Chain A
Amino acid sequence: QSALTQPASVSGSPGQSVTISCTGTSSDVGDYNLVSWYQQHPGKAPKLMIYDVSKRPSGVSNRFSGSKSGNTASLSISGLQPEDEAEYYCSSYTTSNTFHVVFGGGTKLTVL
């Protein structure tokens, strides 16, 4: 069981918007703005899409945005494109038990 909870799957049609949630606790997501999101296509290495809750690395489309409310972080993707179909993972700094970083279990995004 992962420390951060993500839905197993989400889906949307091309052009639509989707949001993927990542729920933690007050020891991680709730207390620190150190949440990252990764995109992973099958058989490929992960790619950093969002860091520090809402910052985009250079080269990442502005269709991807991140936010946080309480113990839940969210990744929103607007104007869905077929190439957005992938697995998405969140991660957060945590002080639960020890100083650490934990990942969510991943969410499969299907573009219908």
Chain B
Amino acid sequence: EVQLVQSGAEVKKPGESLKISCKASGYSFTNSWIGWVRQMPGKGLEWVAIVYPGDSDTSYSPSFQGQVTISADTSISTAYLQWSSLKASDSAMYYCATARTHYAGGRYIPISFDDWGQGTLVTVSS
């Protein structure tokens, strides 16, 4: 059974850095794409980024390119999403999820998110 367990809720101030995590189990972490999906309060879903832990290949949504960094540590089967300087507009629920991908335009695109973590609520407020 695939399990994705995310780190707990965070409250940060604008300008601070943050790294949230997602520990995976029950499948081959190294050989599967995993990514992050944002859901702002009362809003819909947005793809953020995906990573292939086996070779650290990454792909970012155009909306989030340069705003966040995705990474993975195969030694502990954990994926991460980090910000170097948070903004109030980063406040949202962030879900990690395994992803099926389609290769186009020189990069991989997540065409479905299959198994999901429980979510990490990020609140950025002064």
Contact = CB atoms under 8 A, between A and B. Distances in A.
Given A93-B102, A100-B109, A105 B44 contact: yes
A2 B119 CA distance: 22
Interface stretch (B13-21, B67-75, B77-85, B110-118): B110-118
Contacts of A105: 44
Contacts of B118: 45
A48 to B, nearest CB: 5
Nearest to A87: B44
Contact of A99 (B44, B46, B97, B104): B104
Give the interface size bracket for B toward A: 20 to 34
Interface residues of A, number: 24
Contact of A51 (B111, B115, B117): B111
A105 B39 CA distance: 11
A74 B116 CA distance: 23
A51 B115 CA distance: 12
B9 interface: no
Given A51-B111, A98-B105, A101-B109, A45 B45 contact: no
Given A48-B112, A48-B116, A89-B44, 7 more contacts: A2-B44, A34-B102, A45-B118, A98-B105, A101-B109, A103-B45, A106-B45
